[in-house]
Structure formats: C-alpha cells, structure tokens
Structure 1
C-alpha cells in the first residue's frame, strides 16, 4: 500500500438513515458499517470510509425481511434470482411448507411420485432432481448459486411418500420407525423443522399416533411443527385445538401457517380463535403464527376435491375423473357435509373461486371464477373443476376470496404473528401476495391505516421470525449479525 494512503475499513457504509433495528424499539439515526457480509459497526457517526458509500438520508434502514412461508422450492432452482422476493426486501425464505417439500426422496419411485404430487402447486420447471437425502437437497441450492438465503423444513408429505406412497391409511409401527429415522436424518442435516398440510394428501391421511411421533421428535431437536391446520372454515376452532393439544402433549413449538378464518359465516370465529391460542400460550405452550395481508388465499385447484378422491396420488385422482360414476360420487360429496373437509362451494362460494393458472395458459379459463365458467359452459361447477384438472393434468391453481379486512387487521395486531407471502410462482394471474405482501403491510397497514407501527411491522418481518426459526445470525441490525 502506498505510504500515506488510508486503508478502507468497510465494504459498505450506510449513512444518515433512520435505523429500525428489528427489536421493536424506536428508530434512531445511525450509520451502519458492513464488512464481509456482517454488520461490524453501528454508531451515530462512522468516520472511516467504505468501498461503497450509501446515503440513506430520508430513508429507513432495516434488517433483510424473512418470508416465513414460501413456495419457491422448485422455481428457485430454475430461477436463482427470484426478483419477486428481492424487490420487496426479502433476503431469507423458509421453504418446504404445507407438507409439500422436495426431500427426502430415497428412491426413484418416491421421486417420481413426489414430482407428480407437487406439480399442481409448484409446477414442472426444467430442473434435474439430483438429490435423494435431505442434506443433498440443501446442497442443490448451494450449487445453484441462489441470491437469497434459504432455510427449509422437512416435508411431512415427502416423508410419507418416501415410506409408503400416497395411500389413505394409518402408518404401521415399522413405517413410523422409518419415518422417524428419515426425520431425524433431515433435522441433523439442517432442516429447520417439519411442515404438514392437513388439508392436503398424504398429510391428511395421518393418524394421531403418527402426529405424536413427529411432535416428540421435533421437541427433542427444539424445532417447530409448521402446520396448515385441518380446517380453516367451519371447524377452525376444532382444528386449532387439535394442534394445540398435540403441542401440549409433545412439548413442541407449534407454528400456525397463514392464520385466518374462511367464509363469511365463520368470520366471527376469529376472536375465539385468537383467544384459544393466547390461552394456550399463557399456559406455557410455545405457539407462533404467520399471515399474508390479503383477504384472498391461493392453492392448487385440486384442493377443491374431497380427500378420498386423491387417495393414491394425482394419477389415481385423474383416473377417477374419467369415470362417470366416480365423478357423480364426487359431486354428491358437495351436497353432504364431510368431516374435516372444506367444501369451497359452500364456504367461499364458486363466485369467489377464481382460476389463477393452468398449464396451457388458456385465456378462456385463467382469471375467471368457477361460477362464471359454469354459467358460460352450462356445466355443474364441480364438472368445470374436474374438466380443468383433467385437461391440464392437475397443473392448475386458484385464488379464493375468503377472509375479511377486519380479521386481517385483528391477526396482524397480535405480537406473535409474523408476515409471509405464501406466494405461488408460475404463469397466469398469480395472487399478488407473491410480489406484494411486505410492501402492502408497510404501505397500507402501517403508513395509511396505522394498524401497527413501523417498528412493530419490521419486528414481525425480521427479529420475530429469526427467533422463531432459530436464525441466530440475522434479524436485527446489531454488530456481528448478517
């Protein structure tokens, strides 16, 4: 180094910004110095220069946002830049949600079955499924060179498929032991917990004994069970109590995905729902939750069908849809209440169920409600759904208008609820939560409507999820963290 030239201490110095550090504390005007990807100085004034200087006067400086519920699993391997998340401030994602993750897949048969099972929601991007173990799966992201930080849950659905496929039956003692072994292997390889989706096959085929085994194993490793509860509509309270009882019995951390009430007739249940959770928390049960800030949800179109129609997996389901007797039986199911099944025609109404994407990108279908298509085609609404699933080989998603603004705000105000996108990538007309969840909270609910403070919103996007999922190196603007 030439004599007299001063050594640069920082890679980046962010100056003059209002630092909201993620803890919920009031913001302060600080400078932030960064070196080798770590925060190394937070001070009222940093005198040394950075290789890059950023003047943040008039702006807010916050930790990178953590999306606690994402479905980027496959698309991130096909498109490592994922601008849909980066552009809204997300720097870390938690994948493997709703029991719909990508590992483990110990055999070619399991891999093929899982690929078919996930295609309806995650699509079929042109990537090679080169992994078998959960550890190999994590390395696939490292090799791809993705721009986001990724943590992932082991998927309950993948565990079941790995052991005995998509059969609608309880697991045997031997199968339970194998599932536990695979779960332990995944947790030791770096899984951040386990997800289950109790409205989706094969997770919803699991008996209580299986759920207890999963919960006890997670408790042994101090990891969370992240759950899409069995019913978010007519039986919401019973479904929540089922999971709370499991958490009480196993001493596990329960994280409830996208907390909400579905269907206008159920909106009043939100107060009892929140009270049920808070009573359990007061009694020592570890419970957290997340939400996306919209009144509409989104998932695969096949989720409209009764559970038994999906026994055996997508190929078996599609075969049923070619059988006129089975089609009639499926339509009859919509006339009679089925335990623990969410009848979307009854809870949301077909006018509120909109086709978001299909494999063919058919403009005659995408963006139109099932009620509208039913009238235009002079078909029963369930026939419309079954025909779309057949024609598109199960690769179809929907957006369902189901919640109320008042309830979104009530959930948002709870200090144990964090922010997520639950975004589904693909073509068509995707739910705007994929692109807009974090900006919507900051713009609509903080700046415009003042539902929560800016400091609280940022805490829900950073420090709260970091603590919930054991991300000890991020979530707060503090020296030594990322």
Structure 2
C-alpha cells in the first residue's frame, strides 16, 4: 500500500525545526518526506493530518512488557501514547536466560516486576529461545531486549550472595557474549535487586568489558538514587572508564527531599563524564513518584538466596523484628525507601491474588489500618501472602529536579511502568505528559527537542538503525498527534486512562492506533542487533 500523510507539521526527530509538509509510505518503509503539504500522485490512501504533527514513533527505552505481552500483544497502554518500540530486559531481572533448575524461584523473583504468565512455555532457556517465542506471539510495537545481569549471574552462580572468582567472571562473560550474539541490545543491571546487588565493582567492570566488545550499552539502575547517589555515580563512572562501555542510567532521579542539596553535584558528575569522554546517557519518566516491587523496602539480607528464603524470613517473628530495626535505623549504602518516601508515601499498586485486592491503592499506613495491625506487620503479611509479588508507587522527588534533568542533553523519555493492577500513571501517559505539560504548558522544552528525546536520541543511543527519524528508507513508525490537545489523563488514584491527542500510530507502515482506537494489527518486529 502506498500512503500519503498530508497537510502535516513535520517534526522529523533530529531536533530540526518543524515544517509544513507530507510523508509518503509504501509497505513498511517511508519513501519520501516532502516540504509540499499536498503532493500529487497515485496513492492507495490519503490521511489528512491538518492541524497535527507527524513525527517518528516514540521509543520507550525502559519497559516491563516482557511477560504480559504474551497475554496482550497489542499493549494498548503503550501504543495509545505513541510508543512504537519498547526495550525489554530491564533492571537486570527478566525472562532470559532461564536455566531450568531455577525456573521456580526466578519466576517468583520476577513476578513483582514483570508479572507471571502460567500458560507460557518456560522451557526456552536462552535469549534466542525467548525472542523466538516473542516472534511467534507477535506484538503491536517493536520489541528489543537487554541481557539482564541477574539472569547471567543466576546461570553462573545461582542465587546466593557470593563473590565471583576469576573463573566465575570468565563464565559470566561467556554467557553474556552468547546472549548478546543472539541479538541483545545491551546489558542491564539493577544494583538494588537480588542477585545483581551481590556484585561488586570488579564484577561489573568485567561484564561491561564483554558488553563493550559489541559496543552495546550498560543500562543501569544504579546502587543508590538517594543518600549515597554521588558515591553510586562514581562507581558507575568507574565502570564506564575502566571498561569503555557506553553508560545509560535508568530512570535518572534523586530520591528523597532530604537529598535535594545533591542536585548540583549530580549535574557536575554528568559534566565530568562528558569532559572525560565517558559516553553517558539516561532516561527519565516525567513524575515525582516512582514505581517498583514492594519487596525493595526490605533490607538486603532478607533477599539472600532468593524468594523462597525471603518468604521463610518473612514468616519468622525474630527476623521481622530485625527488619523493622534495620528499616528504622538504616544500613550504610542501602536505599531505604521508607526513609525517603515514608510509610504514607508508598502505595500498593498490584497483588497476585484476589484475596488482597482490597490493598490496591492503599499506602502502608492505610494498609495497617485496613488490617488492624502495625503498618510494618501488615506489609510483611502482604508480601508473605503474595509471595513477594506486590507492586508499589513511591513519592520521592521535586518537580524542579524533574524539569532540570529533562533539559539535560543526555536525557530521553521512558515509561518504566509495571503493567499489572493499579499501575503508576506513567504506564499510560509518560510521553503525552511531556508533550502536554512540559512543552505546551511549562515551556521546559521546545516541541522539536521533546520529539527528538522520544525518537532520534534513543534510537542513536541504542543503535536502532532505520528508526527514530522521518526520512526516506527508514521504517514507517509514525505518530500523528494534535499539539494543542495532547495530554496525559491518568492520575495516581485513577491511572488506567488513555491520553488525549494521539490520533494515529503506525508501526512498520500499519496502523496499530487509528482514530484514537487500537486496531487488531500486530506488525511489530523483534529487533535483534
């Protein structure tokens, strides 16, 4: 099919000024981007984009659709906000590689982050096997995959808190190379999640050297985003300097209003990377609240050995008392979510069983009131009953920091949303929120720069050839939106609301959203590098 998208304001994803023009697509590719709003020709379809912007499809560089996409391949929460490509395998914890002997404990560990899919054939074992299943399943957006540190470490060392020997490091490097050769887009870690958190800087540098051989990025949830963020960033900079790997910080932020004074020092560290030639980028969601697994509020020792042992500790009254003491007093180098968000600033967003469905939407103080217990005891009960598969939202930050990081040259937009239950509103609205709130209302970015941070910039960082820019020969991943009405609608109390102003979304030349409604098409490709 040859299609003309006419009468548009073209914003091409490069940051260049928008202009009046049209786009011609044929099959899955763009064949022309023209300064003529109504070119003559023989077209199978003409889409009049009067009053609208036409731009490349948005690229979500931090997504958690890894498992739930097997149940909902259209991912409407993403496609309805203009996302045409997702990058999975985040935070060092994901679906592959998956050694058969660790399937049960790993699925429990993964459930709070990416959910669980009972009907999935879990025997795929490797990234290649997982990606083949994803190709067979089909998807509306394109899907890329990072190789997760936790899975690599699990295959080499199991789930215990042990220090890697030289032989262990070589084994992990070989596993990582094998998985990157299968098409992995980079190497991810989450240094607050087990077993990634058991690694030291030496282990990280060794693995980063393997990733650097492929010129693939380290995508890192750093060890601290709060009290010790400066020390944490120094560690990550060391990884980049000693290995030569490209560094991409996940969901970059400063947690805790008590840490606001670190903002300028954080910016100075980013500037130092640039001066030293260390390649650094980061993604960001445009909110002052985050979202992850509720189990992160537990001290690190509780997670040692995996989820089954964590549940045993949650059932032990003495271990519970120790947990409360450690949360209240803190542990050096540990990001204490209760300290920087407060019990009343952490909300339950998702549970595995219907029995605890009444907890969704409650903060931990309210959870205690609901159960007639101390908030800590009620929280521990919930984690035990749900086998640690509980999602949360935590309020941590300052609006001026969100806006300041957004303006940085290293920044691109992401969602980082957990898809189950009553999720963070970023799942449905991160990209429209930037366009509506931060471009139109606050003027924090120009429209051209915002689009570049959603398209061309992430495509460049992750090596997505043929995507991220409107130009002849590229894939026809395209969004048509109204810059005067685009906005997010989800709130923290009612998050599952689609945005306004996103009219049409094409992936590889086929509509996945048409007239602000999802189609039945699933034209997405699994992107292997």
Which TM bucket (shorter chain)?
over 0.9
Report the counterpart of residue 425 of structure 1 in structure 2.
Answer: 419
**Contact 1:19-1:30 at 8 Å conserved across structures:** yes
Match of 1:292 in 2: 285
1:16 and 2:7 matched: yes
* SS of the residue 1:16 aligns to: strand
Give the distance between the partners of 1:49 and 1:321, measured in 2 at CA: 68
Question: Are the equivalent residues in 2 in contact too, given 1:13–1:49 (CA < 8 A)?
Answer: no
Q: 1:199 to 1:41 in 2, by over 3 A?
A: same
Q: Which has the higher contact order (CA 8 A, sep 6+)?
A: 2
Among residues 289, 302, 310, which one is paired with 2:295 in the alignment?
A: 302
Which residue number in structure 2 is paired with residue 390 of structure 1? Answer: 384
Match of 2:523 in 1: none
Query: 1:321-374, CA deviations, whole angstroms, 9 ceiling, x for partnerless residues?
Result: 111111111111123331221122211111101111111243431111112223
Query: Mind listing any 5+ residue stretches in structure 2 that lack a counterpart?
Result: 476-529
Please say if residues 108 and 387 of structure 2, whose CA atoms lie closer than 8 Å, have aligned partners that are also in contact.
no
Larger mean CA deviation between 315-324 and 271-280 belongs to 271-280
Whether the 8 Å CA contact 1:355–1:366 is kept in 2: the answer is yes
Q: Structure 1 CA distance, aligned partners of 2:285 and 2:436? A: 14
Q: Which of 195, 212, 216 is the aligned partner of 2:209?
A: 216
For structure 1, list consecutive stretches of 5 or more residues without a partner in the other structure.
Answer: 1-9
- C-alpha distance in 1, partners of 2:116/2:129? 20
1:108 aligns with 2:100: yes
Q: Write the deviation string for residues 108-140 of structure 1: whole angstroms up to 9, x where unpaired.
A: 113333212101221222322241121121111
* Rounded Cα–Cα distance in structure 2 between residues aligned with 1:246 and 1:38: 38
The residue matched to 1:80 in structure 2 has which SS? Answer: coil
Q: Who is 1:326 aligned against?
A: 319
Match of residue 25, structure 1, among 2, 9, 16: 16
Partner of 1:122: 114
Q: In the aligned structure 1, how far is the partner of 2:474 from the partner of 2:51?
A: 24
Cα distance, 1:375 vs structure 2: 4.3
d(CA) in 2 for partners of 1:406, 1:318: 39
Paired residues of 2:186 and 2:216 also in contact (CA < 8 A)? yes
Deviations 1:363-412 (A, max 9, x none): 43111111222345453332222111011121111100001111100010
Q: Tell me the equivalent position of 1:6.
A: none
Q: How does the TM-score come out when normalised to structure 2?
A: 0.87
Do the aligned residues in 1 keep the contact of 2:328 with 2:339 (CA within 8 Å)?
Answer: no
Once superposed, what is the RMSD of the aligned Cα atoms?
Answer: 1.3
TM-score (norm 1): 0.95
Matched, 1:39 2:39: no
Q: Which of 158, 176, 180 is the aligned partner of 1:187?
A: 180
Q: Separation in 1 of the partners of 2:380 and 2:95?
A: 26
Aligned residue number for residue 195 of structure 2: 202
Counterpart CA distance in 1 for 2:62 and 2:53 is 25
Secondary structure of 1:346's counterpart equals helix
Residues in 1 aligned to 2:201 and 2:455: alpha-carbon distance in whole angstroms: 34
Q: Which residue of 2 aligns with 1:236?
A: 229
In the other structure, the counterpart of 2:374 is: 380
The count of residues paired between Structure 1 and Structure 2 equals 471
Query: 1:174–1:113: structure 2 CA closer, same or farther, 3 Å change rule?
Result: farther
**How far does residue 161 in structure 1 lie from its aligned partner after superposition?**
1.2
| SS of structure 2 residue aligned to 1:481 | coil
Specify the SS of the correspondent of 1:326.
helix
Deviates more, 1:373-382 or 1:443-452: 373-382
